[in-house]
Amino acid sequence: MAQTVLITGASSGIGYELARIFAREKYNLVLVARSEKKLHDIADELTKAHGVNVQVLVKDVSMLASATEIYETLKQKGIAIDVLVNNAGFGDFGFFTETKWEKELEMINLNITALTALTKLFVGDMVARKSGKILNVASTASFQPGPLMAVYYATKAYVLSFSEAIANELSGTGVTVTVLCPGPTESGFQVAADMQDSKLVKGKKMPTSKDVAEYAYKALLSGKVVAVHGMMNKIMAQSVRYTPRAVVRSLVRAMSERTH
């Protein structure tokens, strides 16, 4: 019997590419995002290409009630989730004194609260079945503070710490937790965060969302806990542990500033 994967933020970027991979591997899908037309187009594409069942849930996951609504809707439909992919998230660029609190609150609600709530809701059923996988999408930003993206970096640090902790708690239950930490990736993230002119991304050759998604899928299946995509990203994530904090803060600031 085919397994079912739930993917948030499934309408673009890494979420969309993960949906394509899971469909290719014959999983049924529940796709969650705000864009109704995009989701239905993707559902049609994947159903025609792979013959899988695709459910669409049009939700703004940053709204606090959304996680419970998603869980209860699937319960009513009798759909059990074997794999949960908490991919939805976004960033913002700029000095904390100048950025908009409304956007940062939405970011915290999406990157932290929704991810935690969905995990809380679905993991109990997985443990009861003694089977399940959770993929939480963090970032290489998880490993250090991020001047000019202070709230975003902090939210991703939470995702890494939370995921590692529950991965340990769930050891022996048949449920695994993988936290994906990609670096800058070709997706809509940079535009949404207004950081196209940041030294982090401008003029840089970045991996594609497809490359990152293929890596994430393999890491999830193998039960890897912390999955850092790319050798340079792995080296940087490790080097932060041995570098004085003041130096790390200064380096991240210098790497993040706009090019003009």
Residues catalogued as catalytic: 152
Among 79, 80, 29, 36, which Cα is nearest to 52's?
29
Residues 61, 51 contacting (CB under 8 angstroms): no
Q: What is the residue type of 190?
A: Q
Among 157, 155, 152, 143, which Cα is nearest to 94's?
152
Exposed / middle / buried, residue 164 (Cβ in 10 Å: 0-12, 13-18, 19+): middle
Tokens of 74: 């699937």
Residues 113, 61 contacting (CB under 8 angstroms): no
- Report the side by side order of strands in the sheet with 54-58: 54-58, 28-33, 4-8, 83-86, 132-137, 175-181, 226-228
